Chain A
Amino acid sequence: SQQGEEDPQALSIQEGENATMNCSYKTSINNLQWYRQNSGRGLVHLILIRSNEREKHSGRLRVTLDTSKKSSSLLITASRAADTASYFCATIFTGAGSYQLTFGKGTKLSVIP
């Protein structure tokens, strides 16, 4: 079953606006990662935040992690048409014997020029 659940499923914004996507998960994690996928292509790693971190920045990306609420958010500032893609959060269980990355179903972001 999916560990992470992204919200919203789809998001449409104008170029220049900020985009916020949320991810909730169910169990304790080691870290949480965000990936981007352009239509039908492979996934590209964006950012990794560890369970003992609360916020992380990378360029126009800002990720927060709230382990008490089991949730994370990805903020893309000053969006561009090239940011149009699907965004996935992925988590790794800290339970014994299982450490594969488990993905949510993604948020489809459309940035309108």
Chain B
Amino acid sequence: KAGVTQTPRYLIKTRGQQVTLSCSPISGHRSVSWYQQTPGQGLQFLFEYFSETQRNKGNFPGRFSGRQFSNSRSEMNVSTLELGDSALYLCASSTDRGLYPNTGELFFGEGSRLTVL
């Protein structure tokens, strides 16, 4: 079974630009979560999607947004990039069947490393 796939793996943007990151979950997984990892703040939860609906959201500004498609693939977008957005963005999927709350293990992709200049 293929793992979680994130694209692109590396990208460089300049301040003010926008970026879209993609995540393909493990086949059959309907829950997709996104995390930002920086040396200073560590791993921080961005949002979680289940069956195309945002089910939970972390404490990030509105410049950070996401969506999930009917095939469970997910994208996240960051608009008006700032230097502080430089980070490793990790996507994770889980076997959540929709029972609240989701308490199971997460399967992570390798991440998309964003550098903002």
Contact = CB atoms under 8 A, between A and B. Distances in A.
Contact of A31 (B56, B58, B103, B113): B103
Contact of A40 (B88, B100, B109): B88
B89 to A, nearest CB: 11
A84 to B, nearest CB: 18
Given A30-B101, A30-B103, A43-B106, A100 B58 contact: yes
B42 A106 contact: yes
A48 B105 contact: yes
B42 A104 contact: yes
Interface residues of B, number: 25
Contacts of B56: 98-100
B100 A99 contact: yes
Given A40-B113, A41-B111, A98-B56, A92 B101 contact: yes
A100 B90 contact: no
Contacts of B101: 30, 92, 99
A103 interface: yes
A42 B42 contact: no
Contacts, number: 52
A42 B33 contact: no
Nearest to A33: B105
19 contacts: A30-B101, A31-B103, A40-B111, A43-B90, A43-B92, A44-B108, A45-B107, A48-B104, A99-B100, A100-B45, A100-B48, A100-B56, A100-B58, A101-B106, A102-B45, A103-B35, A103-B42, A103-B43, A104-B42
Given A40-B113, A41-B110, A100-B56, 16 more contacts: A30-B101, A30-B103, A41-B111, A42-B90, A42-B110, A43-B90, A43-B92, A45-B107, A48-B104, A88-B43, A99-B101, A99-B102, A100-B33, A101-B106, A103-B35, A103-B43
